[in-house]
Amino acid sequence: MKTLLSIATLLLLTGPLYAQKAYTKNGSISFFSKSPVENIDANNNQVMSVLNSQTGEIQFSVIVKAFHFEKALMEEHFNENYMESTKFPKATFKGVITDLAKVNFTKDGSYPVITSGDFTLHGVTKKITTPGIITIKNGIPSASSKFSVKLKDYEVVVPKLVKDNIAENIEITVACTYDQKL
Amino acid sequence: MFKIKFVLILFTGFLSCTALAQDTTDLMSQLEQEVSKDDKNNTNITTATFKTTRLVNGHTVENVGKGVLDFKISHRFGKVNGGGYDLFGLDNATMRMGFDYGITNRFMVGIGRSTFEKTYDAFFKIKLLRQSTGNKKMPLTVSYVPTIALKTLKSLEPDSKDYFSSRLFFTHQLIIGSKLSEQTSFQLMPTYSHRNLVTLVTEPNDLIAIGIGGRQKLSKRVSLNAEYYYQLPEYKLANTTNALSVGFDIETGGHVFQLHLTNSQGMSERTFITETTGKWDKGDIFFGFNISRVFTIGKRG
pLDDT in tens, B152-168: 988 777 777 788 888 99
**Cα–Cα dist A85/A75, whole Å:** 11
Q: Is residue B17 domain-resident?
A: yes
Chain A hits for B23, CB-CB cut-off 8 Å, are 57
Contact B13 A59 (CB under 8 A): no
Task: Indicate the residue type of B70.
Answer: D
Q: Is residue B44 domain-resident?
A: no
Chain A hits for B294, CB-CB cut-off 8 Å, are 73
Residues B69 and B295 sit within 8 Å (Cβ to Cβ) = yes
Same-domain pairing of B155 and B279: yes
Contact B252 A162 (CB under 8 A): yes
Same-domain pairing of B171 and B275: yes
Q: Does ipTM surpass 0.85 in this model?
A: no
Q: How confident is the model at residue B171 (pLDDT cuts 50, 70, 90)?
A: very high
Same-domain pairing of B123 and B22: no
Residues B293 and B287 sit within 8 Å (Cβ to Cβ) = no
Shortest CA gap B21–chain A (Å): 5
Shortest CA gap B299–chain A (Å): 8
Give the Å distances, CA to CA, from B281 to A3, B39, B93, B259, B284.
Answer: 99, 52, 21, 20, 7
Shortest CA gap B56–chain A (Å): 20
Q: Is residue B108 domain-resident?
A: yes
Contact A73 B2 (CB under 8 A): no
Contact B13 A11 (CB under 8 A): yes
Tell me which residue in A50, A76, A159 faces B28 most closely, judged by beta carbons. A50
Same-domain pairing of B213 and B96: yes
Same-domain pairing of B208 and B280: yes
Q: Is residue B70 domain-resident?
A: yes
Same-domain pairing of B230 and B147: yes
The pTM is what?
Answer: 0.81
pLDDT digits (tens, 9 = 90+) for B224-275: 999 999 999 999 998 999 999 999 999 987 789 999 999 998 898 999 999 9
Same-domain pairing of B27 and B110: no
Q: Which domain holds residue B33?
A: 2-39
**Cα–Cα dist B94/B107, whole Å:** 29
Shortest CA gap A97–chain B (Å): 13
Q: What residue in B sits closest to A21 (Cα-Cα)?
A: B24
φ/ψ (deg, to 5) at B21 = -90, 20
Residues B133 and B47 sit within 8 Å (Cβ to Cβ) = no
pLDDT digits (tens, 9 = 90+) for B66-96: 999 999 999 999 888 888 888 888 888 899 9
The total number of structural domains that make up chain B:
2
Q: Is residue B301 domain-resident?
A: no
Q: How confident is the model at residue B14 (pLDDT cuts 50, 70, 90)?
A: low
Contact A63 B253 (CB under 8 A): no
Contact B31 A23 (CB under 8 A): yes
Q: Is residue B184 domain-resident?
A: yes
Shortest CA gap B20–chain A (Å): 6
Contact B6 A90 (CB under 8 A): no
Total beta-carbon pairs less than 8 A apart between chain A and chain B: 100
Contact A73 B65 (CB under 8 A): yes
Give pLDDT tens digits along chain A (182 positions): 666 666 666 555 554 444 578 999 999 999 999 998 889 999 999 999 999 998 999 999 999 999 999 888 889 899 988 999 989 999 999 999 999 999 999 999 999 999 999 999 999 999 999 999 999 999 899 999 999 999 999 999 888 888 888 999 999 999 999 998 88
Q: Which of B3, B27, B185 should be substituted to probe chain A, the one whose Cβ sees the most A Cβ atoms within 10 Å?
A: B27
Question: Residue B26: its pLDDT value, please?
Answer: 85
Domain CATH code at residue B177: 2.40.160.40
How many helices (H) and strands (E) in chain A?
A: 2, 10
Q: How confident is the model at residue B17 (pLDDT cuts 50, 70, 90)?
A: very low
Chain A hits for B11, CB-CB cut-off 8 Å, are none
Tell me which residue in B35, B221, B254 faces A159 most closely, judged by beta carbons. B221
Same-domain pairing of B32 and B145: no
Q: Is residue B71 domain-resident?
A: yes
Same-domain pairing of B54 and B22: no
Same-domain pairing of B128 and B29: no
Chain B hits for A79, CB-CB cut-off 8 Å, are 47-48
Any residues with CB less than 8 A from the CB of A155 and at least 6 apart, and which? A122, A123, A124
Contact B20 A19 (CB under 8 A): yes
Chain A hits for B14, CB-CB cut-off 8 Å, are 11
Same-domain pairing of B9 and B125: no
Tell me which residue in A15, A59, A63 faces B28 most closely, judged by beta carbons. A59
Contact B253 A162 (CB under 8 A): yes
Contact B24 A161 (CB under 8 A): no
Q: Is residue B72 domain-resident?
A: yes
Tell me which residue in A48, A57, A76 faces B47 most closely, judged by beta carbons. A76
Give the Å distances, CA to CA, from B84 to B7, B35, B89, B90, B277.
Answer: 99, 64, 8, 10, 22
**Cα–Cα dist B127/B301, whole Å:** 17
pLDDT digits (tens, 9 = 90+) for B19-31: 444 578 888 888 8
Same-domain pairing of B104 and B24: no
Helices B2-20 and A2-18 meet at what angle, rounded to 10?
10
Q: Which of B24, B26, B35 should be substituted to probe chain A, the one whose Cβ sees the most A Cβ atoms within 10 Å?
A: B24
Q: Which domains, and CATH codes, for chain A?
A: 22-181 (2.40.128.110)
Tell me which residue in A63, A71, A162 faces B296 most closely, judged by beta carbons. A71
For B180, the 3-state DSSP assignment is coil
